[in-house]
Structure 1
Amino acid sequence: MTAIHPSAQIAEGASIGAGVRIGPFCAIGPEAVIEDGAELVSHVVVDGATRIGAGAKVLPFASIGTPPQDTKYKGEPTRCELGARSLVREGVTIHRASVGGGGVTRVGAGCMLMAQAHVAHDCILGDGVILANNVMLGGHVHVGDGAFLGGGAAVHQTVRIGRLAMVSGLAGVTNDIPPFGYVFGLPARLVGFNKVGLLRRGASRDQLRTLRLANALLFKDPGEFAARLQQAAERWPDEPLVQEIIAFIRDPDRRRQLVRPGRMTAPELGGVDEENGEGQ
């Protein structure tokens, strides 16, 4: 059964689904939609044209759908969406879109946003994304399915982060990260690929060997990058992981440069294989 605490403020016009639980001192705006089975634990603000997906859970002092931190925004109608079964921890902020983007800020299904993470206007997060504590996403950032961003990482506006990419804690990301890439440092540098994440999602050992060769060709070998990119496309035409990286790089809508390759020194390695740069 739906359970709403007497101290919660639900504006007229808000849509509350079946089995929703809304705890003490939550504030729900008139355009909000809270889908079946969602839970707002306490002191949660849901503002604007915001949809909270079925089974999502939002912990205290999170704020979802509030206006963007954009001086050009003058109250135009834009939206915010939190996907089904996503978990939003304490103090997270997710702002609705500005008029300069696609009109929606979207967090996909099954995501986990840890305490104090910030998702700015017009960001698009795929399914299964994890933002650790205090991650900061600037406006218009796109994050692919299954990507992981470590605590305190800061991502510049309009950056794209590919599927299953891995960003180390405290990294400063100013350029695009290809799918499966592992980046480290300030500014962030590409130091390997997310081997463990790929294995957990069914990639074969043969695919990983091919991906290692492709990464070496694209990001370590000498020569003009465009020529190496074409060489990789022709050498592995039937390998979907390699082709996904190539398509990401060739995307005509890309607005930022590709992250530059680098190398981690021994004291910095942590959970990364020094020889192969394989994220853990």
Structure 2
Amino acid sequence: MSNNIHPTAIVDPKAQLAGSVTVGPYAVIGPEVRIGEGTTVGPHCVIEGRTTIGRDNKLYQFSSIGAMPQDMSHGGEVTELVIGDRNTIREFCTFNTGTFKEQGVTRVGSDNWIMAYVHLAHDVRVGSHTVLANNVTLAGHVHVGDWAVIGGLSGVHQFVHVGAHTMIGFQGHVAQDVAPFMTVDGNPLAVRAVNLTGLKRRGFSDERQRVIRQMHKLIFRSGATLDQAKAEVEGLRGQGGDEDIQTMLDFLAASTRGLVR
């Protein structure tokens, strides 16, 4: 057994752990688990199911990773959890595998900061560079875009999509899709402004910020119908933010839960 694995840990012989993986006391790792170089598994973590974890992740104590989905229709089919690289996963997190209602995979990207007691249900997709604060709960089939920030004690309803570069405030009750680049909070949840602080931190140019502010006004402040607003957004092309315009239009086209406005 590797010197990096504490003698009280239980690691199934069939598990595939890279040589530099560190496993803390009393952790349990199942036979279908694969873990990449440099990842640290804290004390008392349980990693089971068909779970793949990439490089240089840090899992803190008492997390449950890769358990079967909490879905009463799940018949024991073999599904997966895939986690990327350089994620921080704090204490008492619970990530479940997917179901065949979607693609059979729950997926987490890279460079995410995931705080204590976060729950990722079956078939969730979390992008990269996100922040999920303490006690965030994502129901089944929720998709979260890159660079999104979700405030503590927030719950996201099943099938909701959260766009890239969004900011959801503390105790958000998220029952509809949240458009990219927006800050939302309150009860009921509402769009408050463009997430300019986040965009500036990520180096968005003045031109890109201006176009995003125009999209915000057209969609959320003009009083136009959503179809009218989308047509107006199309007319903004050529002003230096075409990539962001496409991100917004693609998101709106895929929205099925209605839009937080």
Please give the alpha-carbon distance, in whole angstroms, between the structure 1 residues aligned to 2:109 and 2:222.
Answer: 36
DSSP-derived class of the 1:4 partner: coil
Look up the match of 1:274. none
1:51 matched to which residue of 2? 52
CA shift in 2, pair 1:225/1:255, >3 Å = closer
1:74 Cα deviation from its structure 2 partner? 1.6
Q: Which residue of 2 aligns with 1:244?
A: 247
CA RMSD of aligned residues (A): 1.3
What are the within-5 Å matches in structure 2 for residues 267-278 of structure 1?
A: none
Return the letter of the residue paired with 1:190.
V
Q: Map of 1:92-241 to 2, 5 A cutoff?
A: 92-237=93-238, 239=241, 240-241=243-244
Matched ranges for 1:32-71 at <5 A: 32-71=33-72
Which secondary structure state, in structure 2, belongs to the residue aligned with residue 81 of structure 1?
Answer: strand
What is the aligned partner in structure 1 of residue 17 from structure 2? 16
Give 3-state SS (helix, strand or coil) of 1:235's partner: coil
Offset, 1:237? 4.6
Instruction: Give the total of aligned pairs.
Output: 258
The Cα shift of 1:101 comes to 1.6
What 5-or-longer segments of structure 2 have no aligned partner? none
Contact 2:42 2:62 in 1 (8 A): no
Distance 1:223 1:55, change over 3 A: closer
Please say if residues 236 and 243 of structure 1, whose CA atoms lie closer than 8 Å, have aligned partners that are also in contact.
no
Give me the TM-score of the superposition, normalised by structure 1: 0.89
Preserved contact between residue 102 and residue 123 of structure 2 (Cα < 8 Å): yes
Per mean C-alpha deviation after superposition, the further-off stretch among 226-235 and 166-175 is 226-235
Give the match for residue 72 of structure 1.
73
Q: Distance in 2 between matches of 1:134 and 1:223?
A: 36
Find the aligned partners of 2:181 and 2:223 in 1 and give their Cα distance: 22
Task: Confirm or deny: 8 A CA contact 2:218 2:224 kept in the other structure.
Answer: no
Instruction: Letter of the 2:91 partner, please give it.
Output: E
Q: What secondary structure, in the 3-state scheme, does the structure 2 residue paired with 1:218 have?
A: helix
Report the Cα distance in structure 2 between the residues aligned to 1:224 and 1:17, rounded to whole angstroms: 54
Residue type at the aligned position of 2:246: Q
Q: Is the 8 Å Cα contact of residues 68 and 121 (structure 1) preserved in structure 2?
A: yes
Runs of at least 5 residues in structure 1 that lack an aligned partner in the other structure: 261-280
Report sequence identity in percent: 37
Q: Distance in 2 between matches of 1:203 and 1:50?
A: 35
Alignment partner of 1:51: what SS? strand
TM-score after normalising by structure 2: 0.95
SS at match of 1:3: coil
Q: Distance in 1 between matches of 2:29 and 2:212?
A: 47
Q: What CA distance in whole angstroms lies between the structure 2 residues aligned with 1:185 and 1:65?
A: 33
Q: CA deviation at 1:217?
A: 1.3
For the Cα contact (< 8 Å) 1:92–1:117, is it kept in 2? yes
Cα pair distance change 1:41/1:224, threshold 3 Å? closer
Contact 1:174 1:187 in 2 (8 A): no
Q: Secondary structure at the match of 1:178?
A: coil
CA contact (8 A) 1:9 1:25 kept: yes
Post-superposition, which runs of at least 4 consecutive aligned residues in structure 1 deviate over 6 A?
none
- How far residue 12 of structure 1 moved from its aligned partner, in angstroms, is 2.4
Hey, what's the Cα distance between the residues in 2 that align with 1:2 and 1:31?
A: 21
The 8 Å contact of residues 110 and 127 in structure 1, kept in 2 or not, is answered as yes
Displacement of 1:191 = 1.2
Q: Secondary structure at the match of 2:65?
A: strand
Match of 2:250, as an amino acid? A
